[in-house]
A and B are shown apart, each in its own frame.
Chain A
Amino acid sequence: MTTTVNEPAARQTAAATLPRLLPAAPEDLRAHLARYGPTPYRGQAGLLIGDLEASGLTGRGGAAFPAYRKLAIVAQARGRKVVVANGAESEPASRKDEVLLRAAPNLVLDGLQLAAEATGATEAHLYTHHGATPEIIRALAERAAAGLDPVAVTITQAPPRFLAGQESALVNRLGGGPARPTFQPPRVTERGLHGAPTLVQNVETLAHLALIARYGPRWFRAVGTSAEPGSMLTTVYPPDGKCRVIETAIGAPLNTLLTSGPQTQAWLVGGYHGTWLPLPQAAALTLDNGALGKSGAAVGAGVLAALPSDRCGLAEAARVVRYLAAESAGQCGPCLNGLPRIAAALAELAGPRPRRPVRADVERWAGLVEGRGACHHPDGTVRFVRSALTVFAPELTRHEKGHCSGTNHSPFLPLPHTTLPDGIPTSEADWT
């Protein structure tokens, strides 16, 4: 392992156990540097990108794209380049980026500066739903006083939209426009902010990057699976609905994170673009795309929910899909037309005695919207809908007979308060 940093062995060992990213309490710059050692600038690009490739780090924003590849594309480009730390977790159920930025802002900012150095970027941005929080302002001020950041960081607040963190939507917002996706290619790594090659990485990805730069790929691979190394932050909803952000090894058994007993009827893995999984069949699965992929699921951004047995799964799904339909950017015909119809149909299926053809309507519309958007919003929504109709098929049969097994009608899965009915985006201002 080639590294320009000589860290005491004790520090490396300390960071080799979980949690790696989340301290027990928010840490200032002094505590951060004491825990992890100095920000390991390399002086040149190649070393870090090679280490990232060897580490196997993938994007933690949900798409699990190899991190080094985006860095390599931007590093190879000429001229002005931009790096962005993306903390605008779009999932209303995801809290991990917010928690990470509050508890360990310096780890994210280390990663942002190291990514800037590795790619040769001269412009750096932090994009979050919460904007310039006291933790971020303090961290940036302490780092400025210590002369730690070669590249100035601009903070931009993301609008409260589901798609605000999508890469091209983010670039549009940073450019002063609405946070709506654009048709790709070109990818933002080729033509991003004001036309400059732009590296957008999730804040958790950057935090991992900052540790790989310090301790190397072998250390990173000490947890996780060989195909999907490292740890990841998850937002876990037990049946009581009180969510926790937990850092866990990729490949951990899901039943160590979620309950699978009689209190729980199904799991939602990967959030609102994710997949419902039936119990007890799913109880033996592990938290990695290799295992989940066989069930049509993916880890996504790490949202995991255990739906309690007293709720109606169809009612929960219908609420979420109504939200997702309202959060369509309204730019692509199939999404604009299909999602509200799917949402209305699901609402009928969630009620008593739905009409017979409604289920088939959902299937048809799902097929019509899938793969036909500029972004993956229709695809993710369809994945959620199809898995709900599969997992809650017995409940659908009950509804057709006029019965419902739900006894607790308070909503379980979280949605933004602002969303419905008044929060539906209707004007340009809703996207900025």
Chain B
Amino acid sequence: MAPTKEAKATKATLKVNPIDCTGHGVCAELLPELISVDEWGYPIVDPRPVPPQLDREARRAVAACPALALKLIRK
């Protein structure tokens, strides 16, 4: 799928370090638009660029991760 104009502007994607992640689920609560949890409680992250209107929430979810496992990767 071609990235939208907004997505091109931020070029940031969310990535989980699956080794550090312990499945607290905080990220999915703070950012349900981009993160859901699987049946074991581990996050499933939308691989597409973070839309700019969710940039603040994405940064908040990254900061809130108790395991420091969620990253916002800016290209």
Q: Which residues between 16 and 43 of chain B lie within 8 Å of chain A, taking CB atoms? A: 17-23, 38-42
Residues of A within 8 A of B20 (CB): 183
A372 contacts B42, C-beta separation under 8 Å:
yes
The residue in chain B whose Cβ has the minimal distance to the Cβ of A182 is B19
* Closest residue on chain B to residue A335 by CB atoms: B18
Contact B39 A333 (CB under 8 A): no
Which chain B residues lie closer than 8 Å to A335 at the CB level? Answer: 18
Give, as a whole number of angstroms, the nearest-CB distance from A141 to chain B: 41
Min Cβ gap A203→B in Å is 28
Q: How far is the CB of B44 from the nearest CB of chain A, in Å? A: 8
Residues of A contacting B18 in the complex (Cβ-Cβ under 8 angstroms):
183, 331-335, 372-374
Interfacial residues of chain A within 325-343, with CB under 8 A of chain B in the complex: 331-335, 337-338
**Contact: B40 with A332, CB < 8 Å?**
no
Determine if B41 and A183 form an interchain contact, defined as CB atoms under 8 angstroms apart. Answer: no
Pick the most buried of B19, B39, B44: most chain A CB atoms within 10 A of its CB: B19
Within 8 A of A (CB), among B28-75: 38-42, 44
How many pairs, one residue from A and one from B, have CB atoms within 8 Å of each other in the complex?
Answer: 36
User: Given the complex, which residues of B lie within 8 Å of A331, measured CB to CB?
Assistant: 18-19
Interface residue from B17, B22, B42 paired with A334 (Cβ < 8 Å): B42
Query: How many chain B residues have a CB neighbour from A under 8 Å?
Result: 13
Q: Assess the A333–B17 pair: CB atoms within 8 A.
A: no
Give min CB distance, A367 to chain B, whole Å: 10
Interface size on A, as a range, is 10 to 19
Q: Does any Cβ of B come within 8 Å of A368's Cβ?
A: yes
Which residues of A in the span 200-256 have a Cβ within 8 Å of any Cβ on B? Answer: none
How far is A372 from B37 in the complex, measured between Cα atoms in Å? 12
Alpha-carbon distance between A182 and B22 when the two chains are bound, in angstroms: 15
A332, A338, A368: the one within 8 Å of B19 (CB): A332
Give min CB distance, A396 to chain B, whole Å. 24
Which one of B17, B21, B23, B39 contacts A368 once the chains associate, using CB atoms below 8 Å?
B39
B contact residues around A372 at 8 Å (CB): 18, 42, 44
Least Cβ–Cβ distance between B5 and chain A, in angstroms: 27
B20 to chain A, nearest CB (A): 7
Closest to B41 in A: A333
Determine how close the nearest CB of chain B comes to the CB of A182; give it in whole angstroms.
Answer: 7
Give Cα distance in the complex from A413 to B21, angstroms. 35
Q: Considering the complex, which residues of chain A in the window 180-194 have a beta carbon less than 8 Å from any beta carbon of chain B?
A: 181-183
Distance in angstroms from B7 CB to nearest chain A CB is: 20
Within the assembled complex, what's the spacing in Å between the Cα atoms of A382 and B39? Answer: 18
A145-B51 Cα distance, complex, nearest whole Å: 64
Interface string of A352-376 (1 = CB under 8 A from B): 0000000000000000100011100
CB-defined contacts of B38 to chain A, threshold 8 Å = 334, 368
| Contact among A333, A373, A374 with B40 in the assembled complex (CB-CB below 8 Å) | A333
For the A-B complex with A181-B19, A331-B18, A368-B44 known, give 15 more contacts whose Cβ atoms are closer than 8 Å: A183-B19, A332-B18, A332-B21, A333-B18, A333-B23, A334-B38, A334-B42, A335-B18, A337-B40, A337-B42, A372-B18, A372-B42, A372-B44, A374-B18, A374-B19
Chain B residues in the interface with A (C-beta under 8 A): 17-23, 38-42, 44
A-B contact pairs, 25 of them (CB 8 A): A181-B19, A183-B17, A183-B18, A183-B19, A331-B19, A332-B18, A332-B21, A333-B18, A333-B22, A333-B40, A333-B42, A334-B18, A334-B38, A334-B42, A337-B40, A337-B42, A338-B40, A368-B38, A368-B39, A368-B44, A372-B18, A372-B42, A372-B44, A374-B18, A374-B19
The 9 closest A-B pairs by CB, nearest first: A332-B18, A333-B42, A337-B40, A331-B19, A183-B17, A374-B19, A368-B38, A183-B19, A333-B23
